[in-house]
């Protein structure tokens, strides 16, 4: 089998396993499912809102899940690890599921969206956005889209990796309604929000104070040395000029002088 087919087969298998677990553990509120295959066992990490429903009484539910995974998908030695969500209000998938469940029970989308948005922002999120689209009005009505948002949130670029996105599909009598929730978690620093510190002058003063005290003395010593070198060079030039031989002057003979000598 080609290496590409192996990758595709593994991805499809993981997708089927994740779908099966989400369906079986729907009441527990599944956030994420991670599957890691090792030579010894297959580790499955499930992050849920209510871990007690996954574990069951004396671990019976987990044992039944492991047996079902082995029987249906041929998984060897599956090991399930259950992790509780730290803050459900900051989990985009769980909040989208909550909005969808409330719309299924009572089709008042705007009220459910506002309540969920307030809960997200009170949990400490920097920004959030909830979008609901579909036949919300009822049977025979046109499909509509509603959107509520608060705070600061990015829409594009690499900084979108810091935004948590969760989706859910609510099934009403009139049709399906899609819910998308985007949350910017607390303590998220975007590139365009960076600002230089206000105490730049204090930092400069500290940096100058850290300079060694010998630095000014060294500069004066260097200047003195340069002056000595210049003085020596000037003396050497004067000595070289003094050593040069004087040029012979030409003597002109005049007629009067010749006569006097004769």
> What is the domain-level CATH number for residue 18?
3.30.300.20
Tens digits of residue pLDDT in 1-20: 578 888 888 889 889 988 88
The residues of the chain scoring below 70 in pLDDT are 1, 138-140, 192-205, 207-222, 236-262
Tens digits of residue pLDDT in 170-225: 888 888 899 999 999 988 887 766 665 555 566 666 766 665 555 455 556 667 77
Note the pLDDT of residue 153.
87
Question: Is the residue at 24 inside a domain?
Answer: yes
Note the pLDDT of residue 259.
44
Bin 58: left if φ > 0, else alpha if -120 < ψ < 50, else beta: left
The total of structural domains in the chain comes to 2
How many other C-beta atoms can be found within 10 angstroms of the C-beta atom of residue 193?
Answer: 10
Burial code of 156-179, b = ≥16 C-beta within 10 A, e = fewer? eeebeeebbebebebebebeebeb
Q: How far apart are CA 90 and CA 165, in angstroms?
A: 11
Cα dihedral value 155, 161, 163, 169, nearest 10: 90
Note the pLDDT of residue 120.
92
Specify the pTM: 0.67
Q: Which of 175, 193, 211 is the last residue of a domain?
A: 193
Question: Is the residue at 243 inside a domain?
Answer: no
Could you give the 3-state DSSP secondary structure of residue 36? Answer: strand
Domain of residue 168 covers 89-193
Note the pLDDT of residue 29.
86
Question: Is the residue at 34 inside a domain?
Answer: yes
Note the pLDDT of residue 261.
42
> What is the domain-level CATH number for residue 135?
3.30.1140.32
Q: Which of 63, 85, 107 is the last residue of a domain?
A: 85
Q: How far apart are CA 129 and CA 82, in angstroms?
A: 29
Note the pLDDT of residue 107.
77
Q: Which of 55, 85, 115 is the last residue of a domain?
A: 85
My answer on whether 63 and 102 are in the same domain is: no
Q: Is the dihedral of CA 52, 53, 55, 59 positive or negative?
A: positive
Residue 146 belongs to what H/E stretch?
Answer: strand 144-151
Could you give the 3-state DSSP secondary structure of residue 179? Answer: strand
My answer on whether 166 and 189 are in the same domain is: yes
- Cβ–Cβ under 8 Å, residues 27 and 12: no
């Amino acid at each position: 089998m080609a290496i590409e087919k192996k990758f595709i087969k593994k991805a499809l298998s993981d997708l089927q396993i994740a779908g099966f677990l989400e369906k079986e553990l729907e009441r527990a509120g599944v956030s994420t499912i991670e599957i890691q295959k090792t030579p010894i066992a297959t580790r499955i990490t499930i992050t849920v809102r209510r871990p007690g429903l996954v574990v069951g009484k004396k671990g019976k539910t987990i044992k039944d899940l492991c047996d079902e995974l082995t029987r249906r998908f041929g998984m060897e030695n599956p090991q399930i690890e259950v992790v509780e969500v730290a803050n459900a209000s900051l989990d985009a998938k769980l909040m989208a599921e909550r909005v969808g469940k409330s719309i299924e029970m009572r089709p008042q989308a705007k009220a459910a969206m506002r309540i969920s948005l307030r809960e997200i922002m009170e949990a400490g999120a920097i920004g959030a956005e909830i979008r609901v689209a579909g036949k919300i009005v009822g049977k025979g009505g046109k499909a509509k889209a509603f959107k509520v948002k608060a705070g600061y949130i990015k829409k594009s670029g690499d900084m979108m990796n810091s935004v948590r996105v969760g989706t859910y599909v609510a099934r009403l009598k009139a049709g399906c309604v899609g819910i998308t929730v985007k949350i910017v978690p607390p303590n998220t620093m975007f590139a365009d929000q960076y600002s230089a510190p206000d105490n730049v002058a204090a930092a400069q003063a500290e940096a100058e104070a850290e300079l060694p005290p010998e630095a000014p003395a060294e500069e004066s010593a260097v200047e003195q040395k340069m002056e000595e070198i210049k003085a020596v060079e000037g003396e050497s030039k004067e000595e070289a000029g003094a050593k040069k031989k004087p040029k012979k002057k030409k003597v002109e003979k005049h007629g009067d002088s010749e006569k006097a000598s004769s």
